[in-house]
Structure 1
Amino acid sequence: MMEPEALKFTESHEWVSVDGDEATIGITDHAQSEMNDIIYVELPATGTTLRKGDVFAVLESVKAAAEVNSPVSGEVIGVNPDLDGEPERINRDPFGDGWLVRVRMSDPSEVEGLMSHDEYRAMLGEG
């Protein structure tokens, strides 16, 4: 599990873990709890080019469908293969086994505009 304190966050409840020019992206615990039981995940193909703000995934629950926006620009270099058969991993471990995609960022400086964990918690009214 990734430590939320080390991640960057968006106002639309995505998180980013950065390692050099690579970013792992998922949804926050708040987002998964709002959706309830996730039953289907639609992810982009490896090699897909994303622009910051693009919808790159759709998550469906028994309650609703939600689009997931990319917090950074770049090329998808990996998707979480385990979500195909076990989308509930997102509910169980949103900051770990429930990650969605890995992206090679074309502009790593975009991460600087994202929120820290404390800023994200304050936005949620938890800080």
Structure 2
Amino acid sequence: MSLVKPSERTPLAYQIGRESIDEVVYDFYDRIQNHPTLSKPFSIVTHWKEHKEKIAEFWWVVLGGIPNSPYKYDPVNKHFAAGFTQELLEDWKALFFEVLSQHLPLNLAQAWQSRVELIGGNLLMQNDRLIQKILK
């Protein structure tokens, strides 16, 4: 096994490509709007086109792409306000992997999904922290 220096690695964003990231995000959020459990919390989204563009940029950056514009994300408070739960997270992750698997080769889908798992776990942990703060 040969080691690749970090400076010689190609970020996942560039392995997948911006166009494919956009396609995944747009397809995912098209499906969200009609999903049996996820459509309700996401009903707070009023401008879907802008939402998809913002989230596609988010994933581009998270996966290692250079940002196209400055933007501060606040996913923890937005998901908390929408009633985020463990059950919804599981549905969200399953749907995301379904979409990834239909758009990308398996190795890229799994690599992206590992980021989904990390971010989802962090969102849930922060959500629980906010709930405990309210209960005190």
Q: Same fold (TM over 0.5)?
A: no
Give the TM-score, by structure 1 length: 0.24
Higher Cα radius of gyration:
2
More helix per residue:
2
Give the TM-score, by structure 2 length: 0.23
